[in-house]
Amino acid sequence: MTNQALLIIDYTNDFVADSGALTCGQPGQLLAPTITELAQQAQQAGDWVLLPTDVHTPDDPYHPESRLFPTHNVAGTWGHELYGPVKDWFNQNQSADNVWQFAKTRYSAFAGTDLDLRLRERRVDTLVLTGVCTDICVLHTAVDAYNLGYQLVVPKNAVASFDATGHTWALRHFETVLGAEII
């Protein structure tokens, strides 16, 4: 195994499909071939392929997102399932030792999860960030990763948002403030 992990963040029906509850629509859908190709390459190279996936319960009065966004990514629903080709890729590769999906309940894949511990156990020092939304969950994961000392790589054709201005701002922020390599 290598010192690199590919993170496919929140690539679910609710965030990507046309009828998703909080979709970024076509910009997100266009990522599918690139993310699938990156996942295949990473898995075959022995890199870690991780799928941190947002999960919620309906109308949770204690979750801060309940005040900001419509109900989305409810556990056990179509909206929470991975989207399209990424779902197909995961279904074919989920039994590999270097591929795993895990639940997260906050924007960052690090908040309230054992991600940092698991990465350090595996001697991972570089994270390749893909998925949605560039200016929300990808951004918050990137900030936490930076603060924990990880090197960051962001393929600009593998991230998207429903907010074009936020997307552009986040890409610049990754590079100029977090020292990410934008490819």
Alpha carbon distance 73, 80 (integer Å): 4
Predicted pLDDT at 56: 86
Predicted pLDDT at 175: 98
Work out the angle between the directed axes of helices 32-45 and 84-93 (0-180°, nearest 10). Answer: 20
What are the residue ranges spanned by the domains of the chain?
4-182
pLDDT digits (tens, 9 = 90+) for 8-34: 999 999 999 999 999 999 999 999 999
54 within 8 A of 102, measured Cβ to Cβ:
no
Q: In the structure encoding, which two tokens stand for residue 123, read together?
A: 């001697």
86 within 8 A of 32, measured Cβ to Cβ:
yes
Using CB atoms within 10 Å of the CB of residue 63, give its burial: 0 to 12 exposed, 13 to 18 middle, 19+ buried. Answer: middle
What homologous superfamily does CATH list for 4-182?
Isochorismatase-like (3.40.50.850)
Query: What does DSSP assign to residue 83?
Result: P
Predicted pLDDT at 73: 85
pTM: 0.95
Task: Say if strands 99-104 and 48-54 run parallel, antiparallel, or are unpaired.
Answer: parallel
- Residue ranges in the chain whose pLDDT is less than 70: 1-2
Predicted pLDDT at 27: 97
Alpha carbon distance 83, 74 (integer Å): 14
